[in-house]
Amino acid sequence: MAHHTPTQRVQIDVDAVTHDLAKIVGADRVLSDDTSMMVYETDGATLYKSKPHVVVFPDTTAHVSQIVKYANAKKIPFLARGAGTGLSGGALAGFGGIIIAMNRMNRILKLDIENRRAVVEPGVVNLWITNAATQHGYHYAPDPSSQKACTIGGNIAENSGGPHTLKYGVTVNHIAEMEVVLPNGEITTVGSGGDDPIGYDVMAMLIGSEGTLGIATTITVKLTRNPQGYKTLLAVFHDIDDATNSVSEIIASGMIPAALEMMDRLIIKAVEEAFGFGFPSDAEAVLIVELDGLTVGMEEQAEQIVRICKERNAANIQVANSAAERDLLWKSRKQAFGALGRIAKSYLTQDGVVPRTKLPEVLRTVYEISKKYDMRIANVFHAGDGNIHPILLFDEDDPAQEKAVLDASGEILKKCVDVGGTITGEHGVGVEKMAFMTLLFTPEDLDLMLTVRSLFNPDNLLNPGKIFPSDDMGMGIQLDG
Amino acid sequence: MADLKARFAAIVGTEQVERLDEGVAELGVDEPMTRVSPKTTDDLIEAVKFANTESIPLIPTGNGSAFHLGNLPVEGRVLLSTRNLHATVDYEPRDLTGIFQAGKRLADIQGELGKHDQFLALDPPNRASATIGGIVSTNVSGPLRAAYGTPRDLCLGLKAVMIDGTFVKGGGRVVKNVAGYDMTRMFLGSLGTLGVIVEAAFRLHPIPTDRRCVIASMKSWEAAQSLAAQVVHSELQPLFVELVGETEPTVLVGFGGIAEQVAYQVERVESLAKDAARVEIASGDDFDARHAALLDALDAAHRDDTRLVLRIGTAMTQVLPAREILMRLVDERHFGVQSTIHYPSGAQYAIVKMDEGASGESTVELVERLRKEVHALNGRVVVESAPVEAKRRMDVWGEPTGPLAVMEQLKRRLDPNALLNRGRYLRGIP
Ligand SMILES: Cc1cc2nc3c(=O)[nH]c(=O)nc-3n(C[C@H](O)[C@H](O)[C@H](O)COP(=O)(O)OP(=O)(O)OC[C@H]3O[C@@H](n4cnc5c(N)ncnc54)[C@H](O)[C@@H]3O)c2cc1C
């Protein structure tokens, strides 16, 4: 696995840095022992490993700014880290250096229900905001499946989505204002109390920049009113094309469901074995459709969805009639990843997006690739957005299998790009998809982005070794040819 | 000048180059200008390259329906128009996405999509003549933003030509995309100062079949605000919530969708509007007319050289306090004000009717005082249009919503000789 650890590391005097950082945040807020560093060597993309030299836990924006200024003065690479649930290797210290762990900056500073806003620190876990706002009838809409663990800071860096972003949009649509520490340590504010940017949209440029253009230290998020009602349906199909075509048809009928999620045979089998939901053994696809909003007229819409699915030969359609039943229908989807852990030693989750109408074609290609490499690939995904998550199952201790996983990933993402899609819809490029950037972008496109980076982050000290092929530190996937 | 015209003509063809003898009044230019309107992207690239080599400042434009925006250009005498690039690049109704060349007019796009009962959910005041490139460059929106958002939310990707002729893209055509930096939103609202946008992709929506609007005449602005707030915090899903009027406010709440849902929502608003002086319901064509009237007032004011149009952005709860500040300042000057407030976004448009012969000076002073007081509410004031005389003496943008130093550097890196819309963007941005 030599090629998944960096070939270069910075040299730093760990004791001196630990000592200096302790002066900023206190000795109990700095870690550098080897065992602790192991905890921070990877994120949700466990194939990639690179240890930081030091981890520091700031409490305030001023701390973050001082740490960043210190790192600049000493030319030490640094990056922010939230919960470490990222799936592209964004939160690992590529060349070593300092990880600024945002977990102690985890206060909800203000709920401003009248203006539908909440002001939070970056270490706040996504779901906490919803938990705090729900008594007022509000929630924070972007809901990554990892929402019980991932932080708002991480969400901003990745511009995260979730099952309900089909209707409500992704992170960038739900942030009003942020206080940011720029890569030189300066503190600035982007966004405003009003809604429209004045001047270049620096806030949007920061969101989704995978933590390479600045560190968010205070965030004003927009809150969304809880819908009056929900209607959740689960349909089982014996043919995957029937399921994906139902997705297109539901959308084309003019409805915008809150969520349209799909799972294929391998996932169904895994959740079935793990939790026994009672799915038929010959099920090829399960589609979960959720409507939300006004209760008036919802019944008719649900009936229309049932009709569409039935016309497409859905075998079995369940409709939830209570909150408990809704949770049950969602349970299979939410536990999909967990279930996979039981049937494979390792897995790699891809994140391509394709135009919805291309889903049948692209899934067929995924199955062909699975056959070609003799590798199990499970699919659980945000079908309404055309955002597929092929999960490649393998054994990371077998170098041959590992190579195959990377090659197969490349083929899948190439197909996504070929049909007009993209290589990542919500997980980011990180270290994992650096090589695939050239499938999508011309050298000129990449140059423009690098110009932007050099403007914010001229010495490339903030989270180096990510996103850009030119930043490859020898651990990314290599494209053949 | 004649030479310039000939040289551009050699690149893009004689037909595509015009001389505008009178200049463009809204841009404060009364000497002749040249308008270059390439028919292909390749020609546009060549025209930009030529301008770059010869250091000719360019004013990128579509149909010229937003010349009223921005500060007055410095030195620009050449308009580079995308109006001849007006193809639909790709439209797949079943994906609810469409890609259009920058010069395509929004009105034409709506006509095409309408055949499939779909539309691009944007309703800027200049919707009749605005091109899609102009809309993206100005991030302009209308009442419907309450339901669908602004171009910033609906644009999925774009292509642009940089000043050295480099062709770049941001985003794509799919609804989720986080590969690399968000170059799409970097260009959005940049008023053509970073590059010339030549193509943009959008998320589309089904046209709501049943449309109805509740129009409640209220006795006071407080009552109007309270009704709007109740709607916003209720289970209702309005297409728009507007507060409009001069002295007496009217609240307009629009709904669209399935008949049964629309009917329920209209009833709910009627019951919330108990203390209204009068409540009317407009549906179908009547709805469309009321919606259009909201936009036409602003559109006309933008074109009227005696009007000052302000966009005041605050949080929802500061909408009325901001309006009160404006009213006080305006009363002192005996001007009149007509307000159009997109309540849920806190975007408030004020059409200030000045006395005939009011000096540019008094307008400038009004804006300055207003800005100062609105800033105290964490709000911003942008002058969307003003008499040219006033514009010569003011900065229409005010304080940006991000670090000016970063913005300035961005501009310097991407357009080092400040050839694109020189002077029209923020003060401090060349
Ligand atoms: C089981 C599972 C399900 C998932 N489901 C989804 C899903 O449905 N949708 C989705 O979008 N993602 C999903 N993810 C991916 C992941 O949860 C998201 O990317 C999440 O936003 C990462 O948050 P984090 O706090 O864990 O960030 P980390 O992994 O700690 O960091 C991610 C990136 O954010 C940067 N960062 C962290 N904090 C800051 C800050 N304050 N300022 C600037 N940069 C910062 C880091 O430098 C790094 O580059 C899933 C992951 C798992 C494991």
> Which CATH number do you get for residue A292?
3.30.70.2190
- Which two structure tokens, joined as six digits, stand for A134? 């729900």
How far apart are alpha carbons B30 and B264 in whole angstroms?
A: 55
pLDDT higher at A47 or B266: B266
Question: What pLDDT does A2 receive?
Answer: 38
Confirm or reject: Cβ of A337 under 6 Å from ligand 1.
Answer: yes
B423 contacts B192 by C-beta, under 8 angstroms = no
- Pair (A132, A203) in one structural domain: yes
Evaluate if residue B357 carries a pLDDT over 80: no
pLDDT higher at A181 or A472: A181
Look up the CATH number of the domain holding residue A367.
3.30.70.2740
Handedness of CA B74, B76, B81, B82 (dihedral sign): negative
Evaluate if residue A347 carries a pLDDT over 60: yes
- Pair (A212, A239) in one structural domain: no
Determine the residue type at B225: Q
Residues of A in contact with B409 (CB under 8 A): 455
Calculate how far, in angstroms, residue A215's C-alpha sits from the geometric centre of ligand 1. Answer: 14
Residues A93-112: what's their mean pLDDT? 97
Q: Find all residues with CB under 8 Å of A242, minimum gap 6, and list them.
A: A285, A312, A313, A314
Evaluate if residue A229 carries a pLDDT over 60: yes
Which of B153, B185, B209 lies closest to A205 in CB terms? B185
Q: Find all residues with CB under 8 Å of B199, minimum gap 6, and list them.
A: B41, B85, B89, B99, B100, B101, B102, B158, B159
Residues A282-302: what's their mean pLDDT? 95
- Pair (A262, A319) in one structural domain: yes
Confidence band, pLDDT 50/70/90 cuts, at residue B306? confident
3-state SS class at B261: helix
The bridge status of strand B336-342 relative to strand B347-353 is: antiparallel
Question: What pLDDT does B201 receive?
Answer: 98
pLDDT digits (tens, 9 = 90+) for A407-435: 999 999 999 999 999 999 999 999 999 99
Please identify, among A179, A203, A225, the residue that sits at the C-terminal boundary of a domain: A225
- Pair (A314, A410) in one structural domain: no
Whether A157 is in a domain gets the answer yes
Question: What pLDDT does A27 receive?
Answer: 97
Residues of B in contact with A427 (CB under 8 A): 178
Q: Is B116 on the interface with A (CB under 8 A)?
A: no
Nearest-Cα distance to chain B for A94, in Å, is: 18
Nearest-Cα distance to chain A for B413, in Å, is: 8
Confirm or reject: Cβ of A154 under 6 Å from ligand 1.
Answer: yes
Q: What angle do CA B292, B293, B295 make, to 5 degrees?
A: 65
- Which two structure tokens, joined as six digits, stand for A154? 């991480």
A239 contacts A315 by C-beta, under 8 angstroms = no
Nearest-Cα distance to chain B for A461, in Å, is: 17
How far apart are alpha carbons A449 and A454 in whole angstroms?
A: 9
Mutate to test the interface with A, among B118, B174, B414 (most CBs of A within 10 A): B174
Judged by CB atoms closer than 8 Å, whether chains meet at B182 and A448 is answered as: no
Mutate to test the interface with B, among A155, A173, A195 (most CBs of B within 10 A): A195
- Pair (A399, A318) in one structural domain: no
State CA A377 to chain mean position distance: 19
Q: Kindly report the length of chain B.
A: 430
Give the residue from chain A lying closest to B160, CA to CA: A445
Evaluate if residue B2 carries a pLDDT over 70: no
How far apart are alpha carbons A137 and B134 in whole angstroms?
A: 38
Give the residue from chain A lying closest to B194, CA to CA: A200
Element containing residue B163 per DSSP (H, E): none
Q: Give chain A's mean pLDDT.
A: 94
Three-state SS annotation for B31-53: CCEEEECCCCHHHHHHHHHHHHH
**A43 CA: nearest ligand 1 atom:** 29
Considering only B56-70, B124-138, B249-263, B343-357, which range has the smallest mean pLDDT? B343-357
Question: What pLDDT does A206 receive?
Answer: 98
A212 contacts A463 by C-beta, under 8 angstroms = yes
Q: Find all residues with CB under 8 Å of B36, minimum gap 6, and list them.
A: B8, B12, B16, B17, B47, B78, B79, B80, B81
Whether A246 is in a domain gets the answer yes
How far apart are alpha carbons A174 and A140 in whole angstroms?
A: 8
Whether A51 is in a domain gets the answer no
Residues of B in contact with A451 (CB under 8 A): 413-414
Residues A279-304: what's their mean pLDDT? 94
How far apart are alpha carbons B227 and B319 in whole angstroms?
A: 14
Whether A67 is in a domain gets the answer no
Confidence band, pLDDT 50/70/90 cuts, at residue A42? very high
Which of B178, B378, B413 lies closest to A424 in CB terms? B178
- Distances, alpha carbon B57 to alpha carbons B51, B77, B292, B376, B425, in Å: 7, 7, 37, 37, 14
Calculate how far, in angstroms, residue B184's C-alpha sits from the geometric centre of ligand 1. Answer: 22
pLDDT digits (tens, 9 = 90+) for A49-92: 999 999 999 999 999 999 999 999 999 999 999 999 999 999 99
Residues A283-291: what's their mean pLDDT? 96
Determine the residue type at B186: M
Taking Cα atoms as reference points, which of A269, A388, A241, A280 lies closest to residue A336? A269
Which of A195, A445, A451 lies closest to B313 in CB terms? A195
DSSP string, B69-120: SSSPPSS--EEEE-TT---EEEEEGGGTEEEEETT-BHHHHHHHHHTTTEE-
Calculate how far, in angstroms, residue B392's C-alpha sits from the geometric centre of ligand 1. Answer: 48
Number of domains in chain A: 3
pLDDT digits (tens, 9 = 90+) for B128-166: 999 999 999 999 999 999 999 999 999 999 999 999 999
Q: Give chain B's mean pLDDT.
A: 95
Evaluate if residue A254 carries a pLDDT over 90: no
pLDDT digits (tens, 9 = 90+) for A205-220: 999 999 999 999 999 9
A423 contacts A434 by C-beta, under 8 angstroms = no
Residues of A in contact with B261 (CB under 8 A): 294, 296-297
How far apart are alpha carbons B317 and A192 in whole angstroms?
A: 14
Confirm or reject: Cβ of A347 under 6 Å from ligand 1.
Answer: no
Judged by CB atoms closer than 8 Å, whether chains meet at B413 and A455 is answered as: yes
Q: Is B397 on the interface with A (CB under 8 A)?
A: yes
- Distances, alpha carbon A446 to alpha carbons A44, A279, A353, in Å: 26, 46, 20
Determine the residue type at A398: D
Look up the CATH number of the domain holding residue A130.
3.30.465.10
Calculate how far, in angstroms, residue A227's C-alpha sits from the geometric centre of ligand 1. Answer: 26
Residue ranges making up the domain that contains A124? 108-225
Q: Kindly report the length of chain A.
A: 481
Taking Cα atoms as reference points, which of A337, A402, A415, A396 lies closest to residue A373? A402
- Pair (A180, A129) in one structural domain: yes
How far apart are alpha carbons B137 and B190 in whole angstroms?
A: 6
**A214 CA: nearest ligand 1 atom:** 43
- Pair (A255, A309) in one structural domain: yes
Which of A159, A205, A254 lies closest to B178 in CB terms? A159
Judged by CB atoms closer than 8 Å, whether chains meet at B177 and A467 is answered as: no
Whether A197 is in a domain gets the answer yes
- Pair (A121, A214) in one structural domain: yes
Residues of A in contact with B96 (CB under 8 A): 251-252
Whether A135 is in a domain gets the answer yes
- Pair (A324, A242) in one structural domain: yes
- Distances, alpha carbon B96 to alpha carbons A260, B38, B117, B188, in Å: 15, 29, 11, 21
Give the residue from chain B lying closest to A420, CA to CA: B173
Residues B269-279: what's their mean pLDDT? 96
Evaluate if residue B356 carries a pLDDT over 70: no
Please identify, among A225, A242, A268, the residue that sits at the C-terminal boundary of a domain: A225
Mutate to test the interface with B, among A138, A200, A250 (most CBs of B within 10 A): A200
Which of B152, B178, B181 lies closest to A449 in CB terms? B181
Whether A39 is in a domain gets the answer no
How far apart are alpha carbons A423 and A412 in whole angstroms?
A: 9
Confidence band, pLDDT 50/70/90 cuts, at residue A1? very low
Whether A9 is in a domain gets the answer no
DSSP string, A359-399: HHHHHHHHHHHHHHTT--EEEEEEGGGTB--EEEEE-TT-H
- Within 10 A of B366 (CB to CB), how many other CB atoms are there? 24
Taking Cα atoms as reference points, which of B276, B218, B277, B286 lies closest to residue B254? B286
Confidence band, pLDDT 50/70/90 cuts, at residue B1? low
Considering only A337-346, A462-471, B29-38, B78-87, which range has the smallest mean pLDDT? A337-346
A154 contacts A91 by C-beta, under 8 angstroms = yes
- Within 10 A of B10 (CB to CB), how many other CB atoms are there? 12
- Pair (A114, A213) in one structural domain: yes
pLDDT digits (tens, 9 = 90+) for A351-402: 999 999 999 999 999 999 999 999 999 999 999 999 999 999 998 888 888 8
Nearest-Cα distance to chain B for A98, in Å, is: 23
Give the residue from chain A lying closest to B193, CA to CA: A200
Helices (H) and strands (E) in chain B, counts: 14, 19
pLDDT digits (tens, 9 = 90+) for A115-170: 999 999 999 999 999 999 999 999 999 999 999 999 999 999 999 999 998 999 99
- Pair (A280, A316) in one structural domain: yes
Calculate how far, in angstroms, residue A152's C-alpha sits from the geometric centre of ligand 1. Answer: 8
Mutate to test the interface with A, among B48, B96, B178 (most CBs of A within 10 A): B178
- Pair (A263, A298) in one structural domain: yes
Residues B184-210: what's their mean pLDDT? 97
Question: What pLDDT does A275 receive?
Answer: 85
How far apart are alpha carbons B169 and B160 in whole angstroms?
A: 6
Evaluate if residue A476 carries a pLDDT over 80: no
Residues of B in contact with A161 (CB under 8 A): 176
Which of A192, A199, A208 lies closest to B407 in CB terms? A199
Confidence band, pLDDT 50/70/90 cuts, at residue A477? low
Which of B176, B188, B397 lies closest to A198 in CB terms? B397
Judged by CB atoms closer than 8 Å, whether chains meet at A420 and B174 is answered as: yes
Q: Find all residues with CB under 8 Å of A364, minimum gap 6, and list them.
A: none
Please identify, among A338, A365, A389, the residue that sits at the C-terminal boundary of a domain: A338
3-state SS class at B342: strand
